[in-house]
Amino acid sequence: ILQYTSTSHQGFNAGLAFYTAHDLLNPEDEPVIRINNGAYVLDTSDISGNTELVQADGSSIDTLGEAYILYTLANSTLKLGRQRLDTPLVNDYYNRFLPNSFEALTLSNTDIPDTELVGIVIDAWKYKSAERFTPIAGGIGLDERLYLLGIKNSSLEFAPFQIWGYHLPDALDTFYALLSLKEPSPVDAFALSADLQYLYQQDNGKAVLGALNTYLAGMQVSLKSRSWFFKIMFDLVGDDTIRGSGTDYATLGWSRFLNFTDLQIDGESLNAGAFSYGTVLEYIYDPHLKAAVKYVRIDQDAQKQFASITPNRRPDSNEYNFDMTYHEAFGKTRLRLGYIDYEKETLISNEYDELNVRLIYDFRF
């Protein structure tokens, strides 16, 4: 990402960012033998494209990812053009080389003490592994804008909250609330915190996604000291799969998975009827080095998946992660090992175990 932001002149400034990602190895597009449900199969898909580091067909990405004008007057800010966003259900989903980006108009105001009001209208977007901007709902055949309203309040230091509403005509309405609870004065160098989230989603208008009436309820509790971090997480989904998150990938993948139990390999904990729970235990050796072990269990509901539109039907699974990060003056090194063990399910054949290894080095100029 090559980015430039101008200085402010009479309240105006502008920003540009060029995004590029190239596969330097240029692998051959030859079939690869994989194991699926205990049987050997030939996978003819593009392997480099499957990484979502480049485009789905394996070709490179070169695009103007950001190009906006920003105007500030008193406590109000207006931003117009290609931009990255950060809301629960619409955000830059930055877990690969390149982020999501949106063609949008964003208006925010902080006149109310400890409160930010946000309104956003989105016309088009670029998925993280895509090169072109397309209509925000073009993947489901709609030529509609997406409308967002949000409020973020921190008047109570120990209980900040945010509330968001999303409206996509003829498709879905979504309500989202997040409450964070923090100890005002941590005892004995231990800090206890908790987060509660609730999402409700239903269809509207022509309901091109079909009948939709579902929810997501989640909770996470964390305990942190100078050297240790411990967290437990829970998420429960209603009768339909949550739409508009990474579960839909390039179709409606406007955001990272908004469940607490996402460990960066699978998104099936947003499937219809899924109950997921897990834990994280991290050891902080010093400010430069930390390592964590993570586990998540997802209990799926096959009947609810078949009774609803679930893009990625899956059986029950166990996910294990080892994640280590080392910081230095000029960069960061990260090693992450992940393994998913899917259980055999007579109704759902989309079952194969997955091993994921990542070694990443970020150098900062």
* Listed residue (347, 276, 272) closest to 317, CA to CA: 276
Per-residue pLDDT tens over the stretch 200-217: 999 999 999 989 999 999
SS3 label, residue 302: helix
Indicate if the pLDDT at residue 350 is higher than 80.
Answer: no
pLDDT band at 185 (very low <50, low <70, confident <90, very high): low
pLDDT for 248 beyond 90: no
Distance CA 105, CA 341 (A): 43
Q: Which two tokens stand for residue 16?
A: 């540009």
pLDDT at 250 (0 to 100): 83
| Residue 52, both tokens | 């979502």
Which positions ≥6 away from 333 have C-beta within 8 Å? 325, 326, 359, 360, 361, 362
Q: Give the pLDDT of residue 101.
A: 97
The 10 Å Cβ neighbour count of residue 186 is 14
pLDDT at 35: 65
For residue 65, give the nearest of 145, 122, 128 by alpha carbon.
Answer: 128
| Statement: residue 192 has pLDDT above 80 | yes
Report the 10 Å Cβ neighbour count for 306. Answer: 12
170: alpha, beta or left, given left = phi > 0 and alpha = psi -120 to 50?
left
Q: Report the pLDDT averaged over residues 229-246.
A: 94
Q: What is the mean pLDDT of the chain?
A: 91
pLDDT band at 246 (very low <50, low <70, confident <90, very high): confident
280: pLDDT strictly greater than 60: yes
43-54 pLDDT per residue, tens:
777 777 778 889
pLDDT score at 349: 72
Rounded Cα gap, residues 258 and 216, in angstroms: 9
pLDDT given at position 335: 95
pLDDT of residue 28: 63
Q: What is the pTM of this model?
A: 0.90
**Residue 25 or residue 173, greater confidence:** 173
Q: For residue 281, what pLDDT is reported? A: 98
Residue 175 backbone class (left: φ over 0; alpha: ψ -120 to 50; beta: rest): beta
